[in-house]
Amino acid sequence: MDATSWDRDPVRRSQGIVWRDLVLAVGLVGICVAGLMLFFKAAQTAGSRGSGVAAAVLVALGALAVLSVGFSAAKRSVASFWVRGHERSHPRYDLAAAPLAPPAPDVDGEALDHAGVDADGFEHTVAALCARDGCTPVEVVGGAGDLGADVIAVTTDGLRVVIQCKHYGPDNRVGSQDLQRFGGTCFTIHEADVAVMVTTSSFTAPAIDYAATCGIICVDGDALAAWTDQVTPAPWEAETAAPQTEPTLIADTLDLSRP
């Protein structure tokens, strides 16, 4: 059964009731008109014969009473017709029977396999972490002409986070040239409040030094795993909670010996 099938039979019955009420209203109006004609005729007669005044008054009162009843019935019929027509054009739905939205999937180390996806997929797994940690909106903007930004997110505090994702193998470290290209656009072009470079690999020492001069947060493979498993807070939260004057490498702040 569809959502509106339960309401079809009452609609058919209501149509018959509406037409019956309209016919009754028209009949009452006709009676009123006839009463008024009788009133005018009686008034003319009363003008020629004084004894007809009382009869004319009675006829007038009767005509007014019938007219009042007729207008009331017509008003109710028109209102009933409008309400039923509105219900037909705006069918009711059983909200209790509507399907519920599926629950949001868990986003943790078991749900996200950063190493098992390609470079494009890695951008989406990082975006999923941002959404999990309260950012909204979160946009994946990587691609040709992205000018260094792969993910742009807004934190609950209103900070604009610009992230570049480097899906590298363990033997391919992120170098200073990668950081220099990102540092040249993340603040001036993308207007980042927080700039983050995330990789599945690690960073060279010159890359970390350059990031420190620009205020870019570096998240290596170990730090990414800790963030994914919620062992540590999101990079922008860690930076806000503990501002650093030394090169900012999130992995250096972790005690990975903890269970």
CATH number at residue 150: 3.40.1350.10
| 108 in Cβ contact with 19 (< 8 Å) | no
Residues 59 and 150 in one domain: no
Residues 185 and 147 in one domain: yes
Residues 168 and 57 in one domain: no
Residue 102 falls inside a structural domain: no
Residue 187 falls inside a structural domain: yes
| 138 in Cβ contact with 127 (< 8 Å) | yes
Residue 62: domain span: 5-97
Residues 37 and 123 in one domain: no
Residue 239 reports pLDDT greater than 60:
yes
Which of 55-64, 106-115, 130-139 has the lowest average pLDDT?
55-64
Residue 140 falls inside a structural domain: yes
Question: Which of 97, 128, 151 is the C-terminal boundary of a domain?
Answer: 97
Residues 80 and 120 in one domain: no
In DSSP terms, which residues pair with 217 in a beta bridge? 196
Determine the 3-state secondary structure of 184 from DSSP. coil
Residues 156 and 209 in one domain: yes
Enclosing H/E stretch for 213: helix 205-214
Helices (H) and strands (E) in the chain, counts: 7, 5
Residue 108 falls inside a structural domain: no
- Going by pLDDT thresholds of 50, 70 and 90, the confidence category of residue 247 is very low
Residues 122 and 10 in one domain: no
Residues 182-194: what's their mean pLDDT? Answer: 95
Q: How many domains does the chain fold into?
A: 2
Residues 12 and 88 in one domain: yes
Residues 172 and 66 in one domain: no
Question: Which of 41, 65, 97 is the C-terminal boundary of a domain?
Answer: 97
Residue 234 falls inside a structural domain: yes
Residue 151 falls inside a structural domain: yes
Residues in the chain: 259
User: Given the structure tokens 């792969």, which residue do they identify?
Assistant: 150
Rounded CA gap, 107 and 135, in Å?
14
CA distances from 89 to 8, 81, 105, 121, 125 (A): 12, 12, 38, 46, 45
Question: Which of 97, 124, 142 is the C-terminal boundary of a domain?
Answer: 97
Which of 13-22, 109-118, 157-166 has the lowest average pLDDT?
13-22
Residue 105 falls inside a structural domain: no
Residues 198 and 124 in one domain: yes
pLDDT in tens, 68-86: 655 565 566 555 555 455 5
For residue 210, give the amino acid letter. Y
Rounded CA gap, 65 and 46, in Å?
21
For residue 17, give the amino acid letter. I
pLDDT at 57: 60
Number of Cβ within 10 Å of residue 172's Cβ equals: 13
Residues 70 and 146 in one domain: no
Residues 63 and 171 in one domain: no
Rounded CA gap, 176 and 211, in Å?
8
Residue 186 falls inside a structural domain: yes
Its pTM stands at 0.55
